[in-house]
């Protein structure tokens, strides 16, 4: 018996033990452990397995292990119990992973718990992660987190799966979907195709996405973004410097100390006439609730340089009236007799017969320089508020 064990042990510890036949070898050893009653032999076998597992993580729990371990953990031998527990910890890590996967996939469990487990799984990035995340897109409780997680994986099936799920996603999940698709050139091409085919509305692409797509310097993507986006100047040096200056102030520590309520008051003063956040505010610009607000780069680029990339939907037109009035705003509707223009304060319906000329500018309705008058503390408070996950009270 001892010889057979030594043979197996030698086999197990050989360099090939973690090649394809590793599972078989472990299975064999578990079988032997199961049939062995001699504590000394059990201890030898376990020691050998532990030595071979040194430093390994996320080892798949072998079939039959739990049953064998139940027996070993009752052993009168201290050494067997000790070695058994050590090996159980190696397999246990994988056991925990399996348990987390089960939790994530279980729609009867609270969304918060599932999302937490999902985060841990995403951090581990094991080989089956992409497939698991793809599977979760159909489940609204975890779809957004799964989409964000998919950004870190590069399974070629991902774009097709995301695009198929897209119509069923809610707004925040759609943002996450578009962001994930714009992180890799190959994914971006699939995104482009879907938008071209009308499966994804152009308006779902934000200024941020377009900037992202441009950063690939890909001829085909550039030609396409030029076609659907009116203006795409890259930030000039001065704006780049301004963004860098703000970013240097917005350190994680500074943001931790920021006052979101004070930030909300600033938002109400400077941004809310045009933007909705948490259900309150104007509709001149995009609703920011589902935007990529966590991302400081996104915020800074869009606030400091709003005209760098503008969707045609948001370009300012300047309307000169015969009576010398001038309206500048976004033309939202036009028919035979009238033009509706959205200005900061609301919608104006202008009679065509009274219009002298309409000039289409290449500027965003969103003004530049909004952050210039703010103090450092105000900037930090505003950004802290923009990054909150839920509404906060106004200051007293």
Interface with ligand HEC (CB under 6 A): 206-208, 270-271, 273-275, 284-286, 288, 291, 299, 302-303, 306, 310, 314, 344, 364-367, 370, 386
Going from the C-alpha of 393 to that of each of 260, 285, 299, 378, 388, the distances in angstroms are 9, 23, 22, 17, 12
Assess contact for 90 and 53: CB atoms under 8 A: yes
Minimal distance, residue 366 CB to ligand HEC, in Å: 3
What does the alpha-carbon distance between residue 313 and residue 366 come to, in Å, rounded to a whole number?
A: 12
Minimal distance, residue 84 CB to ligand HEC, in Å: 56
Query: CB-based burial of residue 388 (10 Å sphere; 0-12 exposed, 13-18 middle, 19+ buried)?
Result: middle
Minimal distance, residue 278 CB to ligand HEC, in Å: 14
Minimal distance, residue 319 CB to ligand HEC, in Å: 16
Minimal distance, residue 267 CB to ligand HEC, in Å: 6
Q: Compare residues 20 and 227 and give the one whose CB is closer to ligand HEC.
A: 227
Q: Compare residues 269 and 359 and give the one whose CB is closer to ligand HEC.
A: 269
Q: Compare residues 224 and 385 and give the one whose CB is closer to ligand HEC.
A: 385
Q: Compare residues 264 and 275 and give the one whose CB is closer to ligand HEC.
A: 275
Going from the C-alpha of 146 to that of each of 48, 121, 231, 374, the distances in angstroms are 40, 10, 33, 37
Minimal distance, residue 114 CB to ligand HEC, in Å: 28
Q: Compare residues 196 and 269 and give the one whose CB is closer to ligand HEC.
A: 269
CA atoms within 13 A on the CB side of 65: 22
Q: Compare residues 224 and 314 and give the one whose CB is closer to ligand HEC.
A: 314
What does the alpha-carbon distance between residue 297 and residue 286 come to, in Å, rounded to a whole number?
A: 18
Burial state string for 300-317 with b = 16 or more CB within 10 A and e = fewer than 16:
bbbbbbbbbbbbeebbbb
């Amino acid at each position: 018996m001892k010889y057979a064990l030594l043979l197996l042990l030698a086999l197990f510890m050989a360099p090939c033990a973690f090649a394809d036949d590793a599972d078989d070898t472990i299975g064999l050893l578990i079988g032997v452990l199961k049939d062995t009653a001699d504590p000394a032999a059990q201890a030898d076998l376990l020691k050998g397995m532990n030595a071979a597992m040194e430093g390994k993580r996320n080892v798949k729990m072998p079939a039959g292990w739990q049953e064998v371990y139940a027996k070993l953990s009752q052993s009168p031998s201290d050494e067997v119990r000790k070695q058994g527990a050590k090996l159980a910890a190696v397999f246990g890590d994988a056991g925990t992973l399996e348990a987390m996967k089960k939790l994530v996939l279980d729609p009867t469990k609270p969304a918060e718990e599932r999302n937490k487990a999902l985060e841990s799984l995403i951090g581990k990035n094991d080989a089956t992660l992409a497939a698991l995340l793809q599977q979760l897109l159909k489940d609204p409780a975890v779809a957004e987190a799964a989409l964000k997680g998919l950004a870190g994986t590069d399974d070629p099936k991902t774009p097709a799966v995301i695009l198929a799920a897209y119509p069923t996603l809610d707004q925040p999940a759609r943002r996450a979907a578009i962001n994930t698709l714009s992180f890799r050139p190959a994914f971006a091409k699939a995104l482009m195709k879907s938008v071209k085919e009308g499966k994804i509305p152009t308006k779902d692409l934000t200024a941020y996405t377009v900037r992202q797509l441009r950063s690939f310097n890909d001829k085909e993507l550039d030609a396409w973004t030029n076609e659907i986006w009116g203006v795409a100047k890259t930030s000039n040096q001065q704006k780049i410097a301004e963004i860098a200056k703000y970013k240097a102030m917005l350190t994680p520590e500074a943001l931790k100390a920021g006052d979101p309520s004070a930030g909300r008051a600033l938002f109400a003063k400077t941004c809310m006439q045009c933007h909705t956040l948490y259900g309150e505010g104007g509709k001149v610009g995009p609703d920011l609730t589902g935007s990529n607000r966590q991302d400081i780069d996104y915020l800074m680029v869009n606030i400091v340089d709003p005209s760098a990339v503008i969707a045609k939907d948001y370009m300012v037109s300047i309307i000169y009236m015969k009576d010398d009035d001038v309206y500048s705003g976004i033309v939202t509707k036009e028919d035979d007799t009238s033009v509706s223009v959205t200005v900061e304060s609301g919608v104006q319906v202008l009679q065509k017969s009274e219009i002298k000329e309409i000039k289409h500018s290449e500027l965003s309705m969103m003004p530049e320089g909004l952050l210039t008058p703010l103090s450092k503390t105000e900037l930090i408070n505003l950004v802290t508020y923009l990054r909150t996950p839920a509404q906060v009270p106004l200051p007293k």
